[in-house]
Structure formats: structure tokens, C-alpha cells
Amino acid sequence: MALCLYSACLPLPQHPVNVNFSCLSHGLGLINRSISSSRRRRRSIISPSRSLRSQILPSARPETIGSRVFVVSDLHTDYIENMTWVRSLSSNIYKKDVLIVAGDVAETCSNFVLTMSLLRERFQHVFFVPGNHDLWLRREKHNYFDSLYKLDKLLDACERLGVETKPSIVDGLGIIPLYSWYHESFDEERDITGIRIPSLEMACKDFHVCRWPDGLENGESSLALYFDSMNDKNWNTVKDIQRRCSHTVSFSHFIPRLELCPEKRMLFYPNLPKIIGSNFLETRIRSIHGDVGNPSACHVFGHTHFCWDTTLDGIRYVQAPLAYPRERKRRMNGGDDWLPFCIYADGCFAEKLSPCYWSDYYAVNPRTPNCTELAPWVARFYAKTL
Ligand SMILES: [Fe+2]
């Protein structure tokens, strides 16, 4: 994600099981020097090895009949380690399978094309929706007039490579990519006050390295609505999928519901919910899967780098991010051997991801957004670094 995410170790005493929680890390690319230096100072406070999260086990079964469907988000292959991870994926075992890539593949077009080429060599089908990093112009500002122009070029590249960006049916499973962008008003929960939280413009590079046509502004509802309306042209195919498929997986880069992110008081950047999600996206998802959902409905997302697997109002929501090398080193998402995550095989959705740190936490702890008392690791961070 283009977020500047702070990390820390977080023993959560509220958790029902007496385990040591480890690092909550988030990939905010802080653009403010003073905050960056705060992060450097913080590293001396936090030991990544203090308590590592439990390993998530791979879910794929080799004896599966027919296509399996795997999911991953936030590949960020501008990092050499992440491109190496992509190269290390087997060239044999996924030959009949599908991979859903829920955005943030790479910042540069060359890394995007290389990544998608490698994935196409390994999987029979690769599906993609763009994330914010994919539309950054920082290193390529002279190549693209704006971020929408870059999006067109990435979609052209996908077409050349055989990467699928439109709804389709594979072995009876409906697969529906959904365009989206975040808007600040998505966050309706009470703000944290009393500490100096960096502004969105300071914390989020998208405000500086994405460029939009006149009338569209980063963080505004108009931009989120613009992206949402890109889905209209595929709606006849979506209707066809609704008629023909018993199981359907939709996917987006951004998050459709606030409940899919930890509460503000848990976050090193408490304003994170303002730059992660879209209400228009949730409306789209409900128009596909129904207001009450169904056991055959799943939505995959990315962006926040928090591994997640939960069911809300009848729809299963899953995030399986590769994330940044530093986040994997702390095993914030239970290592990386379980990725890509097999979400569908033998005509069924997979068992729940386990252990799944934050969604496990919220499965047994109520969300209390009116409580603005900082979690201890956040309070310590702001007391010492800002
Ligand atoms: Fe992102």
C-alpha cells in the first residue's frame, strides 16, 4: 500500500488466547523527514524477534481435481526480494490453476510487465485489478500524462500478456474484478485526538505521486465514484455470472468495509481508515452477492497488508498479502510459505485462513470505535517519537 505504516510489537491482553502477538506493521511510505527519522528511532525500541506470529499453513491440496484458484495481493515487486518470491513460484504445479492478483503489483511498468509475464508462465489464468502503487508516476512521470493514462497502458499490457481484467467464468466459478479507489469519507468512526497525527498528505504518497484529470482529487468521493463507474461496462457479464455460477469470487484492491481494518486506536497511523476503502465498492459487492450474502460468496481485497479472513453479513472477505520484505521478516502475516492462498478447489471455497491475526482477534472481541484510548504500543510510539 502507499501508506506509511508504522510497526511495533503488540501484546494484546484482550485476546482470549494467551499468545504473544508480534508486529503490526504497515507499509506507509512516509514522505516527511521528521517522521521517517522517528521510524528509524522506533526501530531501536522494537525488537522484531520479540514474538513472531504463528506460521499460517498452506491450504492447497495437490490431489485436487480441476482448476484451483489462488489469491495474493500487494506483490510490490519493485523490491528485489518480492520479485525473487515471484520467480520462485513453481513452474509446474500451477499449470491448470487460476491466480487472482488484488493490486499493487509494481510501481514501474517494466516491473509490472515482468511480474505478470512470470505469473502467466506459471498459471493458466491470471486476473488483475490495479492498486494505488500501480498508478504511481514517481519514476515514470514523463511517460504518462496522468494516472488514468497509465492505467490504460497497464490494461493494454495485460491484454498483450493474456492477463484477465474483466469478469469471467473459469470451471464454473465466477470471477469478478472490481475497480475501486478510496475516499476519505469512508471513515465514519471517531477520530483519535490529543496526539500529533501526520496529515494524510504527509502520510500517504498517493497524494503526490498519482496525478488525476481536472475534477478528480485524491481522497475525494468523486475519484472513488469514478473508479467504481468503470465497473459499469462489465455489468452484463456480471449478470450472466449471477445466472450461471453457484460460486462467485469478486476482488478489489481497496477495502469495502471499515470492519476489515483494525480500529484507529490500534494503528500507528490512526487516520489510516481515511485512505483505504470505498463505500461504493461495498455497494457493488452487495449487488453481486446479495444484501444477505450466501455461503458461496467471497470477496478478496488487499492494500492494508493485514492478513484477513472473516464473514460479514453473509459474505466472506479475505486478504492474503505478500506485503513488504520487512513485514515478512517480522512474519506479521504468518510467514510467506502459505502464499498464494488457495481460496477455491474441488468446487468449494477453502477452509478459513488460520491463524489469521487481526480477524481472529475481532472474531472474539467486539469492535469499540467509540473507545479512543490508544493501544499501549501506539501510546508508547507517540510518547517517544512524535
Ligand atoms: Fe495499496
Domain 8-385: CATH class, spelled out: alpha beta
Given a contact cutoff of 8 angstroms between Cβ atoms, the answer to whether 159 and 196 are in contact is no
**Distance from Cα 103 to the centre of ligand 1, integer Å:** 7
pLDDT tens-place string over residues 121-151: 999 999 999 999 999 999 887 888 899 999 9
pLDDT at 61: 59
**Distance from Cα 48 to the centre of ligand 1, integer Å:** 23
Tell me which residues have their CB within 5 A of the ion that is ligand 1. Answer: 1, 104, 131-132, 303
Number of alpha carbons in the 13 Å side-chain half-sphere of residue 202: 11
**Distance from Cα 55 to the centre of ligand 1, integer Å:** 24
pLDDT at 55: 63
**Distance from Cα 101 to the centre of ligand 1, integer Å:** 12
Residue with cell 499490457: 157
High-pLDDT (> 90) share of the chain, %: 76
Number of alpha carbons in the 13 Å side-chain half-sphere of residue 124: 12
**Distance from Cα 323 to the centre of ligand 1, integer Å:** 10
What single letter denotes the amino acid at residue 360? D
For β-strands 341-345 and 69-72, DSSP reports them as antiparallel
Alpha-carbon gap, residue 87 to 288, rounded angstroms? 34
**Distance from Cα 2 to the centre of ligand 1, integer Å:** 5
**Distance from Cα 244 to the centre of ligand 1, integer Å:** 32
Average pLDDT over residues 260-271: 97
- Provide the residue ranges of all domains of the chain, joining segments of one domain with +: 8-385
**Distance from Cα 64 to the centre of ligand 1, integer Å:** 32
Given a contact cutoff of 8 angstroms between Cβ atoms, the answer to whether 99 and 72 are in contact is yes
**Distance from Cα 260 to the centre of ligand 1, integer Å:** 14
pLDDT tens-place string over residues 298-325: 999 999 999 999 999 999 999 999 999 9
**Distance from Cα 73 to the centre of ligand 1, integer Å:** 9
pLDDT at 77: 98
Alpha-carbon gap, residue 56 to 338, rounded angstroms? 6
Q: 3-state DSSP call for residue 381?
A: helix
pTM exceeds 0.75, yes or no: yes
pLDDT tens-place string over residues 159-187: 999 999 999 999 999 999 999 999 999 99
Given a contact cutoff of 8 angstroms between Cβ atoms, the answer to whether 325 and 15 are in contact is no
**Distance from Cα 142 to the centre of ligand 1, integer Å:** 22
DSSP 133: G
**Distance from Cα 294 to the centre of ligand 1, integer Å:** 28
**Distance from Cα 209 to the centre of ligand 1, integer Å:** 13
**Distance from Cα 220 to the centre of ligand 1, integer Å:** 17
Across all residues in the chain, what is the average pLDDT?
A: 86
Alpha carbon 178 to its chain centroid, in Å, reads 13
- All 3 cell numbers of residue 126? 491470471
Closest by CA to 5, choosing from 299, 378, 277, is 378
Could you tell me which residues are beta bridge partners of residue 174? 169, 248
Those residues whose C-beta lies under 8 Å from the C-beta of residue 263, and which sit 6 or more positions away, are 189, 367, 368, 369, 371
**Distance from Cα 133 to the centre of ligand 1, integer Å:** 6
**Distance from Cα 104 to the centre of ligand 1, integer Å:** 5
SS3 content of the chain, % helix, strand, coil (to 5): 35, 15, 50
Backbone angles phi, psi at 332, to 5 degrees: -65, -25
**Distance from Cα 124 to the centre of ligand 1, integer Å:** 25
pLDDT tens-place string over residues 33-74: 333 333 433 332 233 334 455 666 556 555 677 789 999 999
Whether pLDDT at 381 is above 70: yes
Please list, residue by residue across 40-58, b when 16 or more beta carbons sit within 10 angstroms of its beta carbon and e when fewer do. Answer: eebeeebebeebbbeebee
pLDDT at 337: 81
